[in-house]
Amino acid sequence: MRPVAVVGIGKTAFGAFPDRTLRSLAVEAGEKCMTDAGVSPSQIEAFYLGNFAGPAFVGQNHLAPYIAGSLGLTGVPCTRFEAACASGGSAFFHAVSSVAAGLNDIVLVAGVEKMTSQTTPKVTEILAGAGDMAGEGRAGATFPALFAMIARRHMHQYGTTREHLAAVAVKNHANGAKNPLAHMRKVITMEQALAGKMISEPLTVFDCSLISDGAAAVIIVPLERASEFTDLPVRILGIAQTSDYVALDAKADITTFWAVHEAAEKAYKMAHVSARDIEFAEVHDCFTIAEIIATEDLGFVKKGEGGWYALEGRTCLRAERPINASGGLKAKGHPVGATGVGQICDVALQIRGGAGELQLDRHSLGLAQNLGGSGATAVVTVMGGI
Amino acid sequence: MRPVAVVGIGKTAFGAFPDRTLRSLAVEAGEKCMTDAGVSPSQIEAFYLGNFAGPAFVGQNHLAPYIAGSLGLTGVPCTRFEAACASGGSAFFHAVSSVAAGLNDIVLVAGVEKMTSQTTPKVTEILAGAGDMAGEGRAGATFPALFAMIARRHMHQYGTTREHLAAVAVKNHANGAKNPLAHMRKVITMEQALAGKMISEPLTVFDCSLISDGAAAVIIVPLERASEFTDLPVRILGIAQTSDYVALDAKADITTFWAVHEAAEKAYKMAHVSARDIEFAEVHDCFTIAEIIATEDLGFVKKGEGGWYALEGRTCLRAERPINASGGLKAKGHPVGATGVGQICDVALQIRGGAGELQLDRHSLGLAQNLGGSGATAVVTVMGGI
């Protein structure tokens, strides 16, 4: 396998954009990314698109060639990947694999979602399709309900508290406030987080990520060709996609995302690093409890200690291991199909040293973790400077 | 790149199965296929799923791990590919590429769709999402309307007639009547075909493929390992996926599917064969005009001669180059996401010599052509015996 590098990144702002179409968002991210890498459409050999539910959100399917055509890309494989909230991560995983294996040299990966044209109840219904509709869905369990059950069990098993959850929200809001592309740029206090409107006990509105529109894109090439495109290549050191059962009741323990643990083990092994080497990470905080569990499953702390890790401030911007310096899904926003690719952009931006006010002190080895549904798909990527 | 072989195939019947779920169909095909190859779930290293619109048809998204869990597959990459009616072909293309490149050894590819739980108007609306909804869709152009425009232009440009179209229908019905897994096992006459209820002028009900439920699956491995699984491996000699604009009005000439032509050129080159070497083919006859155009774009006849080729009976079961011996999408059925993988099963079955009453005289080099939307995605595969 050949080493692979990210040589271009591009993101739209994440937010609610009633005047923008899904296609215009994806095209903006793709064009920014091609400009960043100095690549023209005719050089691109394949297009990998992550999108969760374009057909349901905006009534358009067959999205890969639909977007590719507007980017000036025809005649190459253009493919949409759907893996719930890990759709972007899955597209990226397959793209990286194809370059590593020598199938392609210059590949464009994008993720996009346009959610805010639907009402919140309708969005909630569409998102529920990432769970087990024949079981959980029929019982009325939306995603806030599923993650509330996970949170309750984590509290029961490990003594995690609402303050632990709120600490994640406070931190991510603080980071997001400094991110010019974030959906919600608003600092909140612990008191505000704890007093938030209850959505699904114990999760308040501040424990839930946002419903957003947005797109992100990256260009990857074999490392040996990276210097043709950039002075700041970012190397993909390890990557893995794994899966688990969709239904929560099929899992042995709902306080852990086994697929994340497996993907992390594989990615660390490929990168020849261990969890303790990772300096910073963008993790999938679709709910605050998901960030707490991610820090455990990724091996940053022991099982059950994720809540304290957050509460003690050890994952803050200037602390020992910053988590979600971008603001995370909580504050940056969560346009579902874009999220996994956006995380790659955010980690690459840190490694390149271009994160402005959010630039971390240690930024040579970062990780992105993208989760699909309630853990049935996981993608973990370890990235570093050259 | 390593040579790749199909070592197991499995299909459900295609039809209207009100008592079957999408998952049960996919599991049936997957299990048949694993039995055929003598492979257990624990041996499978990745799962590639083609599905067009499960979320819209049955309200379930995140389908790859959803189905994989029921097949006993967890901990491996499980990914859904969506490329409209070429979803199955796209999943197969990426799976073959991964084995060829050495990323995986034993891979399960499946395609599935469950369409008949929706009304025909609703199915038509969902299928329209594979076209350009902002343009064609807003103008009320359903897929029968788009292909009617294509047919009209083909008639105008090349003198193709309704008899040419009907000849395709008569042939495919005749073949389908002999296929135990076909949705519609009913012979029709030329008179019946011409007198069919008009759907979108000049296309009658007999020019349109069926709305079906069904699933298909294959197992692929590196050729060097094929003998561990079967005495009848089928080799993938060439394969390509290409793309074009989604909207018809963006295309220079709507009487040709440029992406099919490009994919065929690439697949032939990879296989070191030319169009004239292909002994038989399963092509994407979503409408009869699409089969006529496919025979042209694949290079079996010159541009504009596809109608006469069909009318003269040269693509019939015992003729020089049988097309759609299985009955095609017209008679076998068209469960959208399953179609591309089903074609691979049908071509492999012929090459293995197991097609029963439909067994062709010459069956050592076959082709499968899968089309997405009105030509924005194309996958062409050339297969042969060892």
pLDDT tens, position by position, B269-308 = 999 999 999 999 999 999 999 999 999 999 999 999 999 9
Angle at B196 between CA B190 and CA B200, to 5 degrees: 120
Reported confidence tier of residue B386, pLDDT bands at 50, 70, 90: confident
pLDDT for A386 equals 79
How many beta carbons lie within 10 A of that of residue B42, not counting itself? 9
- Is residue A237 within a helix (H) or strand (E), and if so which, with residue range? strand A234-243
Contacts of A94 (CB under 8 A, 6+ apart): A48, A81, A241, B79, B94
pLDDT tens across A57-96, in order? 999 999 999 999 999 998 999 999 999 999 999 999 999 9
Inform me whether the C-beta atom of residue A377 falls under 8 Å from chain B C-beta atoms. yes
HSE value, Cβ hemisphere, 13 Å, CA-based, for B354: 15
Residue A133: DSSP 8-state: I
pLDDT tens across B151-171, in order? 999 999 999 999 999 999 999
Asked if B84 contacts B374 with a C-beta cutoff of 8 angstroms, the reply is no
**Which residue type does A334 have?**
H
Residue A80: DSSP 8-state: E
In DSSP notation, B344-376 reads: HHHHHHHHHT--GGG--S--SEEEEEEEETTTT
Asked if A150 contacts A308 with a C-beta cutoff of 8 angstroms, the reply is no
Interface A:B, Cβ pairs < 8 A: 199
Average pLDDT over residues B319-327: 98
The C-alpha atoms of residue B366 and residue B236 are separated, in whole angstroms, by 10
**Which residue type does B135 have?**
G
Segments of chain A scoring below 50 in pLDDT: none
Contacts of A127 (CB under 8 A, 6+ apart): A53, A142, A143, A336
E strands, A91-142, where? 107-114
pLDDT for B1 equals 82
Minimal CA separation from B367 to chain A, in Å = 19
Asked if B202 contacts B169 with a C-beta cutoff of 8 angstroms, the reply is no
The C-alpha atoms of residue B222 and residue B7 are separated, in whole angstroms, by 10
pLDDT for A1 equals 83
The C-alpha atoms of residue B105 and residue B36 are separated, in whole angstroms, by 17
Which member of B78, B85, B208, B286 is catalytic? Answer: B85
A159 φ/ψ angles, rounded to the nearest 5 degrees: 75, 15
pLDDT for A196 equals 97
pLDDT tens across B188-199, in order? 999 999 999 999
Record: contact B243-A76, CB cut-off 8 A: yes
Q: Which residues of B touch A64 (CB under 8 A)?
A: 82-83, 243, 377
Q: Which residues of B touch A52 (CB under 8 A)?
A: 61
User: Is residue B85 flagged as an active site residue?
Assistant: yes
Q: Which residues of B touch A258 (CB under 8 A)?
A: 74-75
Record: contact A377-B98, CB cut-off 8 A: no
Q: How far is CA A114 from CA A14, A27, A84, in A?
A: 10, 13, 14
The C-alpha atoms of residue B7 and residue B233 are separated, in whole angstroms, by 5
Q: Which two tokens stand for residue B83?
A: 């490329």
Does the structure show a pLDDT above 90 at B348?
yes
For chain A, state the CA radius of gyration.
Answer: 19
Record: contact A61-B84, CB cut-off 8 A: yes
Minimal CA separation from A67 to chain B, in Å = 9
Closest-CA residue to B324 (of B186, B169, B210, B205): B169
* Token pair 């086994």: residue: A258
Contacts of A8 (CB under 8 A, 6+ apart): A33, A34, A35, A36, A37, A38, A39, A217, A218, A219, A229, A230
In DSSP notation, A4-47 reads: EEEEEEEEPPPB--TT--HHHHHHHHHHHHHHHHT--GGG--EE
β-partners of residue A113 are: A214
In DSSP notation, B43-85 reads: G--EEEEE-S-HHHHHS---HHHHHHHHTT--SS-EEEEEBTB
Inform me whether the C-beta atom of residue B88 falls under 8 Å from chain A C-beta atoms. no
How many beta carbons lie within 10 A of that of residue B189, not counting itself? 12
Q: Which residues of A touch B132 (CB under 8 A)?
A: 66
pLDDT tens across B25-76, in order? 999 999 999 999 999 999 999 999 999 999 999 999 999 999 999 999 989 9
Q: Which two tokens stand for residue A203?
A: 């999760």
Among partner residues B55, B63, B242, which is closest to A56 by beta-carbon distance? B55
pLDDT for B245 equals 96
* Token pair 């049988």: residue: B322
pLDDT tens across B197-252, in order? 999 999 999 999 999 999 999 999 999 999 999 999 999 999 999 999 999 999 99
CB-count burial class (<10 Å; 0-12, 13-18, 19+) for A45: middle
Average pLDDT over residues B14-18: 98
Maximum separation of any 2 CA atoms in chain A, in Å:
56
Asked if A215 contacts A111 with a C-beta cutoff of 8 angstroms, the reply is yes
Record: contact A77-B242, CB cut-off 8 A: yes
Angle at B125 between CA B13 and CA B94, to 5 degrees: 55
User: Is residue B363 flagged as an active site residue?
Assistant: no
